Each structure stands twice: as C-alpha cells, then as structure tokens.
Amino acid sequence: MTNTITERVYGAIPGYTNANAIKESLKAHKTPDSHEQLLIEAKDGIDEQIEELLNSGQEIPANIADSLADVERKQRSAALRSQLLSGHYRRASDEVATIITGGISGAYKQLQTELDSVMEHVHTASLKLSGLNTALEAFAAGRDAVEAWGAITELTTSYEEVRRVQRELFNQETHTRSPWLDPSRLANTSMFANFFEVAPYWINERKKAVRTYDPTNYDAIPFLKWLKEFQDADENQNITEGTWPHPDYKAEHLLWASRNTTPWTPSKDQIMASANAAATMATTPTDGTIHGQEQARDKYYAITGTEPRTPYKNHYDASNTEKARQKVIKRISEAESKFNAELTRQRKIGEASARAKAEREMMERGRRM
C-alpha cells in the first residue's frame, strides 16, 4: 500500500504509476550529470592552456590539440544524447498528462475519500472541544482538550496535502499554473459543498441581493425569504477565505470546517456549474427572474449533493403548478355545484310558491261562486 495521499490519489488513475516512473527516469537522465560537467571543466582548462601558449608565442603541442578535439567530440555526443532524452521526456510528460486527464474522475473520487477520512478524524477530536474554538481555550480546558487540539493541528498537514493535490488536478484540467481561479469566489466554491451558506463571499452576495429587493415583486417574496436565511460570516473571515487560511488559523479552520461545512473536492465542471448557479441565485429576485433563480437553486443542490438549511418549495415547480391548477378546478367545480344546487332550490321554492298561489286563487274563485 502506498504511503502518501498524493500517491494514493494518482495511483487511482489507470496507467499513471508506470508512465510517471518512465517520465521521472528520463528527467533524471536528461539533466547534465557530473561526467558532462567534468567535460566542460576539461575543455575550459585546455582552452586556458592554448590561450597562454598563444600569448607567449609558443607552438601548441599536438597532444593538447588532440585532447581538445577529443573533449569537443565527447561534448557533441553528450549534447546529442541530452537532446534525444529531452524529446523522450517531453513525449513521456505528454503521455502522463493524457493519462491524468483520461482518469481524473477516479483521482477526484479517491481525493474525496482522503478528505472524508481527514475530516472524520477532525470530527472525532472536535467532540472533546465542545464550545472551544482556539488553542488558548483548549489549553485552559485541560489535558483532554489540549490533546484534541494537538490532534487537529497534526491533521492540518494531511488537509494541506489534499488541497495541494486538488489544485494540481484542477490545473491539469484547466491547463494553467494559476494557484486557483478567482481567489474569493471560486476558491470558496471549491472547498465547501455548502459554500452558498457558509462562504463569506457568497454570504455577502446574498446580503446585497436582499438589500436591493423591490417589495412590489410579490411573486419573488418566497424566494427572498429563503435567501435571507443566510448564516452570518465568521468574525475571523481569514479562517475561511481563499484556498487555505492564514498560517496562524490552520487548526481553527479545520475545527470550523468540521462543525459548519461539507468539505468537497469538486472537478472543474462541478466548480464552474455550481458557481454559476450560485451567482444566479445571489441576484436580487424579481417577478421576471424568479423562475430562473429557482431552477438555479435546484441545480446547485443537485450538483453539490447537499441539503438546504431551510427547506423550500418552488413557486414555479411543475408539480406545484399542477396541484394549484387542480385546486382551482376543484374550487370552480364546487362553486358550480353550489350554484346549481341553489338554482334547483330556488326553482323548487318558486314552483311550490306558484302551486300554492294557484291553489289559493282557485279556492278564492270557488268561494265567490
């Protein structure tokens, strides 16, 4: 079994281990070795001897010229060898990149497994830190709390490795060397599946959307109420901003993440799709945009696999619309039935009244006769 998170993640990619071993071997051999350096130094020494002889007006001995020719021949051979190895190394590097791209889904799956394992250990340690949030508080609480804090501090190394490998895979997918994309928007998006509810950037976006709401948009009110159910950002926002927090807050970050977030290692497509859905949700709702925002909300939870902190029901959901239509039909039908029943009742009353009147008139005529 491999020893590191990095090895296990890349080992989950079919064909990677052998291809990378070939690449690393070629990399080692294409680098100028000590023999090539000795040839360079030997040529430099011979050049100095020839220059001294020429400056003093002496003839250049045949053995020196032969030595120079031999060194230059060996250098040309070494240069050709290095050129050939460099070509093989580039092709091997391209092969490794192709293999990673083809099997990257397996790598992400293994990486998520590694992250889940780290966070499970963090959670176990956090149970001994109920109500405690800093190293000083843990120190004051006693031995068990200190040991728990120490365990979380040690786990920051594994967590850092997970995030480093995640950046490597992301860079491989996007073919960039950027540490990440937008450090405030996408960095938070890539770390926590429930980023729309806990990441400071998205919390602020939700607040802005709520502040600029026009109350005349009645259909958007249910979505607005849901949007207002945001969780306040941490007082120390540097704990959660970026791909990794300030060095002084690593343990605090892990403890906070264990208690409040769903850490994940999404692919490039998941990051982009969930961020775009969140951006649509975090705009000021209007009667004209609410349908698209509700669809984006459904998409966000489907991509991230998380559950909303506050349950919701879509105003424009097809099933809800059908239910509402059936209710209206039922109410109309009931109203029609009542109306018809009333007409029948009134008709019967009218008919009875007419008969009674006719009978009274007949009796009246009988008396007159």
For 61-126, the DSSP string reads PHHHHHHHHHHHHHHHHHHHHHHHHHHHHHHHHHHHHHHHHHTHHHHHHHHHHHHHHHHHHHHHHH
Residue 116 has pLDDT above 50, yes or no: yes
Q: How far is CA 63 from the centre of its chain?
A: 69
pLDDT in tens, 154-210: 999 999 999 999 988 888 887 654 444 555 566 678 889 999 988 888 888 888 888
Cα separation values, 266 from 197, 254, 303, Å: 17, 18, 9
Tell me the C-alpha distance between 163 and 103, whole Å. 19
pTM: 0.67
Q: How far is CA 198 from the centre of its chain?
A: 13
156 contacts: CB under 8 Å, gap ≥ 6: 250, 251, 253, 254
* Band of pLDDT at residue 234, cut at 50, 70 and 90: very low
Mean pLDDT of 212-234: 76
Q: For residue 44, what pLDDT is reported? A: 61
And the tokens for 114?
């590694």
Q: For residue 179, what pLDDT is reported? A: 47
Higher pLDDT, 124 or 323: 124
Tell me the C-alpha distance between 167 and 133, whole Å. 28
Residue 1 has pLDDT above 60, yes or no: no
* Helix (H) and strand (E) counts in the chain: 15, 0
And the tokens for 108?
């992400």
- For the chain, give the percent of residues with pLDDT over 70: 65
Tell me the C-alpha distance between 59 and 287, whole Å. 97
Q: For residue 102, what pLDDT is reported? A: 81
Domain definitions of the chain by residue range = 1-102, 165-316, 323-369
What length does the chain have? 369
DSSP codes of every residue in 223-252: HHHHHT-PPPPPSSGGGTSSSS--GGGHHH
SS3 content of the chain, % helix, strand, coil (to 5): 75, 0, 25
And the tokens for 46?
């011979």
* Band of pLDDT at residue 323, cut at 50, 70 and 90: low
Tell me the C-alpha distance between 301 and 228, whole Å. 17
Q: For residue 92, what pLDDT is reported? A: 67
Q: How far is CA 275 from the centre of its chain?
A: 8
Residue 148 has pLDDT above 70, yes or no: yes
Mean pLDDT of 135-139: 92
3-state SS class at 181: coil
Higher pLDDT, 93 or 221: 221
Residue type, 45: G
Considering only CA atoms, which of 235, 233, 237, 146 is closest in space to residue 183?
237
Q: For residue 235, what pLDDT is reported? A: 45
For the CA atoms of 330, 331, 335, 341, what is the dihedral angle to 10 degrees? 40
* Band of pLDDT at residue 344, cut at 50, 70 and 90: confident
pLDDT in tens, 255-278: 989 998 899 999 988 998 999 999
Q: Report DSSP state, residue 311.
A: -
Mean pLDDT of 47-63: 65
* Band of pLDDT at residue 34, cut at 50, 70 and 90: very low
Tell me the C-alpha distance between 38 and 54, whole Å. 24
* Band of pLDDT at residue 145, cut at 50, 70 and 90: very high
Lowest mean pLDDT among 33-47, 50-64, 254-268: 33-47
* Band of pLDDT at residue 302, cut at 50, 70 and 90: very high
And the tokens for 250?
């690593």
Contact status, residue 179 vs residue 186, Cβ threshold 8 Å = no
Lowest mean pLDDT among 64-73, 83-92, 338-347: 64-73
